[in-house]
Structure 1
Amino acid sequence: MRTGKYEGKKAVVTGGTHGMGLATVKMLLEGGATVLLTARNPANVEKVRQTLGGKVHAIVSDASRIADIRELGVIAREKLGEIDLLFINVGISALTPLSAVTPEEYDGMFTVNTRGSYFTVQELAPIINRGGSIVFTTSVADSTGFAGMSVYSGTKAALRAFARCFAAELLPQGVRVNAVSPGFIDTPTMGVTNATEEERAAFRKIGDQATPMHRHGTPEEVAKAVLFLAFDATFTTGEELLVDGGIGQSLTPADDHA
């Protein structure tokens, strides 16, 4: 009897109701895995429940709340026991210039993207099986400079540092820790939580022009990279894999030369 590639595997995906997170969840389920996903929007969680049915455990969980993170740990232990993958994908962003960033916006992004990610790993690392892995979603913005994204970039640079340190710290447990670094990806929010539709359209145009491959990536392309790091890259830890169409390498296509 033929089984799926991820048959018997168990995964937790935070930020799993749309975009890259949902694409990863679907690939895991198609491969036979059992998945617990989170999101803080109850409507999005209910929509996923209706779409995927009993194939997935979907819960409302806010990464900015330590109580919710602790509850996630309780539910993960109850529903899954031990896990093979923790995909830290939750995050918020904003396009705000330096002069307009407020302490509230700054604290909000660092609370969700950075503190929430840190303590989610702290909570769930003890139940990751030997040979299992953690994958963070960072961003090409953590190593490049985009105007208006200073706070967001800072949160993602912190995650990159976490991935390196956790990779060293969890070696005795047999757990690998890596990060996937997307560039411009065609997701519902385009990676900018507070943007209008007009701003997203302009951002999409900028992304197509700035990316050496002259297009946005798809959520599925990122999901494939996540699952490669999670299950196939068994001699890789502490790494950040760029999925950005070449933008992080400053490539210049031949037809773009003057």
Structure 2
Amino acid sequence: MSRLQGKRTLITGGTSGIGLETAKQFQAEGARVIVTGVNPDSIAKAQAELGSEVLVLRADSASVAAQQELAQAVKDHYGQLDVAFLNAGISVWLPIEQWTPEMFERSFDINVKGPYFLMQALLPAFANPACIVLNTSISAHVGAARSSVYAATKAALLNMSKTLSTEWLGRGIRVNAVSPGPIDTPLYDKLGVADAYREQIDKEITASIPLGRFGTAEEVAKAVLYLASDESRWTVGSEIVVDGGRLLNG
């Protein structure tokens, strides 16, 4: 198939999980792909999986300077950019008593400030038309315990899909969001939860999902692919929730 034939695309956080799966689907649909990551092992593994045609770059989402360097690398490689999927992020769930100002700032740096200033730096490079897809979360809508900071970062990012859509409409740039529910990806493994407790958490999460299971990276990537394609050309400032019905339970 060729839903993205020839489109020049960027996927941040593209070396594992949802980002890596999206990169594979973009490739299969004819796109040219750049992905970013921070972990050297993940970068090497993704390069091996995606092949030499894909440019895999190291870019720390917490660093505005790194995001500006990334934007320049994209411009140098492509000239212009058709699609950006801003997927890099961290998920830290803690009660409010355990948060420090430094931890708070890091979550906002990676999940909000980095993507924001990457979009700013990429603005001159976006083609007309072009599209941006932001990976937000149903946490922006759900008042789950221990998610206060994570949910706040995702709510901020989700709102940007609306405000920047209004601001950039005249530039031909569509901004939309995909909001996953609980997805079986390495993100959960990075939380450092003990295996025994992880099993308990998995059962609790699964019980909250009407479809009775975690989602997959492939299922989220399908939604991103739609938003990145010309099929969604009349979709602006919108959100696709991919959560197995989790929001039905409030």
Please give the range of the TM-score, normalised by the shorter of the 2 chains.
over 0.9
The separation in 2 between residues aligned to 1:102 and 1:192, in whole angstroms, is 19
Q: Which residue of 2 aligns with 1:142?
A: 140
Q: Which residue of 1 aligns with 2:115?
A: 117
The residue correspondences of 1:241-256 to structure 2 (distance < 5 A) are: 241-250=240-249
The residue correspondences of 1:182-221 to structure 2 (distance < 5 A) are: 182-190=180-188, 193-221=191-219
Q: Which residue of 1 aligns with 2:238?
A: 239
Q: Which residue of 1 aligns with 2:174?
A: 176
Are 1:185 and 1:216, in contact at CA under 8 Å, matched by a contact in 2?
yes
Q: Secondary structure at the match of 1:189?
A: helix
Are 1:29 and 1:55, in contact at CA under 8 Å, matched by a contact in 2?
no
Q: Which residue of 2 aligns with 1:256?
A: none
Q: Which residue of 2 aligns with 1:255?
A: none
Amino acid of the residue matched to residue 146 of structure 2? G
Amino acid of the residue matched to residue 137 of structure 1? N
Are 1:94 and 1:194, in contact at CA under 8 Å, matched by a contact in 2?
no
Are 1:64 and 1:115, in contact at CA under 8 Å, matched by a contact in 2?
yes
The separation in 1 between residues aligned to 2:197 and 2:236, in whole angstroms, is 37
The separation in 1 between residues aligned to 2:30 and 2:234, in whole angstroms, is 24
Q: Which segments of 5 or more consecutive residues in structure 1 lack a partner in the other structure?
A: 252-258
The separation in 1 between residues aligned to 2:82 and 2:170, in whole angstroms, is 16
| TM-score, reference length from structure 2 | 0.95
The separation in 2 between residues aligned to 1:172 and 1:196, in whole angstroms, is 50
Relative distance call for 1:55 and 1:199 in structure 2 (3 A) is: farther
Q: Which residue of 2 aligns with 1:254?
A: none
- Out of 81, 99, 112, the position equivalent to 1:83 is 81
| TM-score, reference length from structure 1 | 0.92
Are 1:190 and 1:204, in contact at CA under 8 Å, matched by a contact in 2?
no
CA deviations 1:50-90 (Å, max 9, x no partner) are 22221210011001112211110111011111111110101
Relative distance call for 1:167 and 1:86 in structure 2 (3 A) is: same
How far the C-alpha of 1:188 sits from its partner, in A, is 1.6
Q: Secondary structure at the match of 2:23?
A: helix
Relative distance call for 1:199 and 1:172 in structure 2 (3 A) is: farther
CA deviations 1:122-157 (Å, max 9, x no partner) are 111221221211000110100111111110000000
The separation in 1 between residues aligned to 2:176 and 2:195, in whole angstroms, is 33
The separation in 2 between residues aligned to 1:183 and 1:138, in whole angstroms, is 10
Larger mean CA deviation between 138-147 and 93-102 belongs to 93-102
What percent of counterpart residues are identical?
Answer: 39
The separation in 1 between residues aligned to 2:246 and 2:6, in whole angstroms, is 37
| RMSD of aligned Cα (Å) | 1.5
Q: Secondary structure at the match of 2:4?
A: coil
How far the C-alpha of 1:203 sits from its partner, in A, is 2.7
Q: Which residue of 1 aligns with 2:53?
A: 55
Q: Which residue of 2 aligns with 1:131?
A: 129
The separation in 2 between residues aligned to 1:142 and 1:23, in whole angstroms, is 23
The separation in 2 between residues aligned to 1:202 and 1:84, in whole angstroms, is 43
Are 2:82 and 2:130, in contact at CA under 8 Å, matched by a contact in 1?
yes
